[in-house]
Amino acid sequence: MSGDLAIRLQAKIDGKTKPPGALGELEALALKIGLIQQTLTPSLHQPTLVVFAGDHGIAAEGVSAFPAEVTAQMVANFAAGGAAVNVFARSNGLALKIVDAGVAADLSAHAPLIHRKIRPGTSNSLHGPAMTAQEAHAALAAGAAIIDELHGDGSNVVGLGEMGIANTSAAAMIMALLLELPVEQCTGAGTGVTDGALARKIDVLTRAVARAHQAMAGRPGLMLAQDTLTQGALTQRVLEEVGGFEIGMMAGAMARAAHHRMVILIDGFIATAALLLAKTMDASVLECCVFCHQSDERGHRLMLEHLDAPPLLKLGMRLGEGTGAALAFPLIRSAVAFLNEMASFEEAGISG
């Protein structure tokens, strides 16, 4: 059925009052959204951006330019409506929800937050697993449950963002483990570390990934044997060793959103690392993903190339928070609008 629908969607796109292909990537975007929703007349209901926040024990190794306390301070900023993602979500018609996945502070007084804290921050993955198996499972399940609630309330579009000091480190290690790449190819400036601090970050993450490899393989030097684990087990083991609670929740959310055939707005480097985890659980999640932008964080371009996923925007951004998804949403809305509202040659009485 999907093949037949794709032919009919393409014919509808080609029949609009324009030369074939004249709307460029918007035409591919309209086709994709129609296929996600399995209809010739897609619609966007209650678009929502969910930002997951969590702290990381590896921040103690000096891998970030900012102290760990900034995570909680930024979450308070989100709750007050003052962050970049608040501004862009308001500007572009997205509801915004903030989730405490594992911030190392008591945020119970912040009523607008969704409280799903696994515990106050992960453990330091340089010295041992970032979380227990039970915690990894709980993070994945919590992300899925949040999507179930959104879908139940009528949303069919969800963007996923994050906040957490040192979460570029967790994302880089997830990338290195799942794509079997050297850590230095996966590791960038994050919050702005440069020169000697960046070299230290790469050294710390290289040692943490080596520890994780050893823990997962059972002996030093053995590369990650993906074929010896079920896909779900691989996702959980990588998350357990080096992940963050917010990244785990994002991965669980992505997998469940794909189950509901929701349009999934993929943000930047950290969100795409979460997608690598979700894809390892179920490769079909990619069918529902729209890749919103290419982050300026080192490694994101390689991730997108691995996924064969050209981004809608390339603005040199590396803020995270879901900002790229919020900025790309008007393009998604425009693609759906032209597919549904633009006249065909026949309707307009114009010779094709």
Domain CATH for 126 = 3.40.50.10210
Same domain, 185 and 283: yes
**Which structure tokens are listed for 268?**
């930047």
Q: Do 21 and 120 share a domain, yes or no?
A: no
Helices (H) and strands (E) in the chain, counts: 14, 6
Global confidence as pTM = 0.94
Question: CA-CA distance, 15 to 352, in Å (whole number)?
Answer: 8
Residues whose CB is less than 8 angstroms from the CB of residue 198 and which lie 6 or more positions away in sequence, other chains included:
187, 188, 189
Q: What is the structure's pLDDT at 231?
A: 62
Handedness of CA 58, 63, 69, 71 (dihedral sign): negative
The yes-or-no verdict on residue 194 having pLDDT over 80 is no
Q: Is the pLDDT of residue 159 over 90?
A: yes
pLDDT of residue 197: 85
328 and 343 within one domain: no
CATH number at residue 8: 1.10.1610.10
| Neighbouring residues of 111: CB distance < 8 A, sequence distance ≥ 6 | none
User: Is 278 in the same domain as 329?
Assistant: yes
Catalytic residue among 135, 240, 241, 321: 321
* pLDDT, tens digit (0-9, with 9 covering 90-100), for 52-95: 999 999 999 999 989 999 999 999 999 999 999 999 999 999 99
Using a pLDDT cut of 70, give the percent of the chain over it. 94
Evaluate whether 172 touches 63 at the Cβ level (below 8 Å). no
Residue 123 has pLDDT above 60, yes or no: yes
- Over residues 278-307, the pLDDT tens digits come to 999 999 999 999 999 999 999 999 999 999
Do 161 and 205 lie in a common domain? yes
In order, the DSSP letters of 110-141 are: -TTSEE--SSSS---TTTS-SS-HHHHHHHHH
The pLDDT score that the predictor gives to residue 32 is: 98
Is the pLDDT score of 219 beyond 60?
Answer: no
Residues 33 and 101 in one domain: no
Q: Could you tell me if 170 and 203 lie in one domain?
A: yes
Q: What are phi and psi of 161, to 5 degrees?
A: -130, 180
Give the per-residue pLDDT at 235: 86
**Mean pLDDT for the chain?**
93
The answer to whether the Cα torsion of 306, 190, 264, 21 is positive or negative is negative
**DSSP assignment of 163-227, as one string?**
E-TTHHHHHHHHHHHHHT--HHHH---TTT--HHHHHHHHHHHHHHHHHHHHHHHSSTTPPP-GG
Q: Are residues 26 and 84 in the same domain?
A: no
Residue 101 in this model has a pLDDT that exceeds 80: yes
164 in the same domain as 144:
yes
| The pLDDT value given to residue 191 | 67
pLDDT mean over 214-239: 66
Say yes or no to pLDDT of 138 above 90. Answer: yes
- Cβ atoms of 203 and 130 within 8 Å: the answer is no
Q: Are residues 57 and 22 in the same domain?
A: no
Residue 223, pLDDT > 60, answer: no
- Verify that 55 and 67 share a domain, yes or no: yes
What is the number of structural domains in the chain?
Answer: 2
Do residues 81 and 101 touch, judged by C-beta distance below 8 A? no
- Whether pLDDT at 220 is above 50: no
Same domain as 154, residue 22: no
The domain containing residue 8 runs over which residues? 2-41+339-348
Buried b (16+ CB within 10 A) or exposed e, 30-60: bbbbbbbbeeeebebeebbbbbbbbbbbbbe
C-alpha distances in Å from residue 253, one per residue of 24, 146, 175, 258: 30, 7, 19, 9
3-state helix, strand, coil in the chain (%, to 5): 55, 10, 35
Q: Which residues pair with 96 in a beta bridge?
A: 49
pLDDT at 166 over 50: yes
Q: Is 305 a catalytic residue?
A: no
